[in-house]
């Protein structure tokens, strides 16, 4: 049961632009003299600076994520082998923060008879071309960290993630986010197998825009 709670609990820039550009310049200039390398590293071109700045700004994917802003009704279900499905309902609010770079989600629900609050940060890293997320819940003091990618222009995102359970042991999960339309999306979480080899718990959350 503790493992189920741990699973439920997990279901969360401009930074060094010039140094990174300097490193890239140095690698490109391996055939140049040491003096030329230093000069290139210390003075990135205007074009390179513009490209670096563009990478720090919200793009097309962030515009898609911005469509999630608003209030939502959430229907959740947990399925685990040998147990009756556990269902509950909750609410969530999503909004863009930090100049449209990230989605911040907050919400509450009742899960397996316990009140649960959650906070999540979603985003898309222009540098790695990956979706990234960090989720936290009141049923845990740990973080669920996720990274994902999409092969259909953001309609479906495949995630891989991990968290440290209630005894500090790392557990891996997979997740799928499906954006049905502007008023509906779903998240499915699947945990790894149980110690006895049976299927791990699965949790599905269905979001419907609260109009």
Positions of E strands within 40-142:
70-79, 86-97, 102-111, 114-125, 130-137
| Residue 21: predicted pLDDT | 33
Mean pLDDT, rounded, of the chain: 83
**Rounded alpha-carbon distances, angstroms, from residue 6 to 50, 164, 189, 193:** 45, 9, 13, 14
Q: CA angle at residue 104 from 101 to 110, to 5 degrees?
A: 160
Among candidate residues 128, 86, 61, 136, the one with its CA nearest the CA of residue 106: 136
pLDDT at 188: 96
- Alpha-carbon gap, residue 111 to 1, rounded angstroms: 13
Q: Is the pLDDT of residue 138 over 50?
A: yes
pLDDT band for position 132 (cuts 50, 70, 90) = very high
pLDDT digits (tens, 9 = 90+) for 36-85: 444 455 688 888 888 888 889 999 999 999 999 999 999 999 988 878 88
Mean pLDDT calculated for residue range 129-151: 96
pLDDT tens string 170-207: 999 999 999 999 999 999 999 987 777 778 889 999 99
- Are residues 138 and 167 in contact, defined by beta-carbon separation less than 8 angstroms? no
Q: How confident is the model over 127-133, as a mean pLDDT?
A: 97
- Residue pair 25/31 in contact (Cβ under 8 Å)? The answer is no
Measuring CA to CA, which residue among 208, 203, 136 is closest to residue 175?
203
pLDDT at 114: 86
pLDDT tens, 82-107?
A: 788 889 999 999 999 999 999 999 99
């Amino acid at each position: 049961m503790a493992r189920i709670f741990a699973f439920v609990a997990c279901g969360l820039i401009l930074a060094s632009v010039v140094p990174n550009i300097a490193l890239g310049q140095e690698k490109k200039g391996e055939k140049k003299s040491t003096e030329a390398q230093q000069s290139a590293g210390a003075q990135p071109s205007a074009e390179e600076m513009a490209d670096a700045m563009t990478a720090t700004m919200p793009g097309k994917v962030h515009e898609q994520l911005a469509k999630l802003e608003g209030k939502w009704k959430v229907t959740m279900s947990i399925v685990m082998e040998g147990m009756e499905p556990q269902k509950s309902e909750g609410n969530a609010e999503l909004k863009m923060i930090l100049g449209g770079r990230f989605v911040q989600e907050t919400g509450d629900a009742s899960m397996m008879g316990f009140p649960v609050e959650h906070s999540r940060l979603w985003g898309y890293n222009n540098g790695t071309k990956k979706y990234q997320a960090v989720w936290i819940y009141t049923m845990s003091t740990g973080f669920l960290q996720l990274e994902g990618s999409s092969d259909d222009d953001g309609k479906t995102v495949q995630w891989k993630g991990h968290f440290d359970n209630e005894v500090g042991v790392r557990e891996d999960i997979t997740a799928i986010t499906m954006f049905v339309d502007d008023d509906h999306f779903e998240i499915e979480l699947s945990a790894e197998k149980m110690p006895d080899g049976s299927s791990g718990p699965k949790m599905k959350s269905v979001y419907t825009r609260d109009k």
